[in-house]
Amino acid sequence: PVVVGAEICHCSDMRKYVLMGAQGSGKGTQAAVLARDLDMTQISVGDIFRWHVPNHTKLGAQVRRIMAAGQLVGDDLVEKVVHERLDQHDWNYGFIVDGFPRNRPQAQFFLERYDIDAVIHLDLPDAEVRRRVLARRLCSNCRLDYNLMAHRPKVEGRCDVCGGELVRREDDTAEALAARLRDYHEKTDPVLDLFRRKEFVVTVDARPDIATVQKSIRAELNLPPYEPSGG
């Protein structure tokens, strides 16, 4: 599987990756680093939906109700948002999608429309998922992410950048997380199996620090080495 992804990388300037993993596995962080260093466009489905919530759009109101109930947004709505985002064609050097696909129908939708070079699977045990997610906080003003285990604010409960109040995301409760983990294993694990049959998947241990995980991803895909001091 790795060789297939690596060959594609060497023969084309455009790369198309999907990054998969449970809540708290670092999908957004790892995708951002890859996108920045390789001039790819990061497409975070979760971020798109979360933008709509504080901006009080019609979609935002719908998403707020779904997230507060600990449920996942329906396939039709997710596919519509992803399709519209990719249709902007602002990804000259490729894209990296995180948060999609989450189940087989979404995967089929994606595979029918886009050639994927590799699926990067960030593997994280459920116990570590719970530990990380329940420590997350979000600035209610500038939307900067914090994690009370690794990125504590200088002033308790306040954003270092703008002084806004740090809050827990509506869907970051123990009950909502338990529901999402069940849903993840029931629906997303079969997606990984589907991709594996097409030799797309590389699996990386998501437990170490950000730099170590990033280095592992690049080693698996034969990408240029990660230089933490460069960013």
Which residue is catalytic, options 104, 130, 169, 207? 169
Report the candidate in 171, 168, 195, 145 with the shortest Cα–Cα distance to residue 72: 171
Known active-site residue 15: no
Which residue is catalytic, options 50, 180, 215, 218? 180
Which residue is catalytic, options 15, 16, 27, 218? 27
Known active-site residue 130: no
Strand partners, 96: 17, 42
Known active-site residue 143: no
Known active-site residue 180: yes
Q: CA 75 to CA 96: how far, in whole Å?
A: 20
Which residue is catalytic, options 136, 137, 215, 218? 136
Strand partners, 138: 145, 167
Whether residue 21 contacts residue 101, with contact meaning beta carbons closer than 8 Å, is answered with no
124-163 residues labelled b (16+ CB within 10 A) or e (exposed) = bebeebbebbbbbbbbeeeebebeeeeeebeeeeebeeee
Known active-site residue 169: yes
Active site members: 27, 102, 136, 169, 180
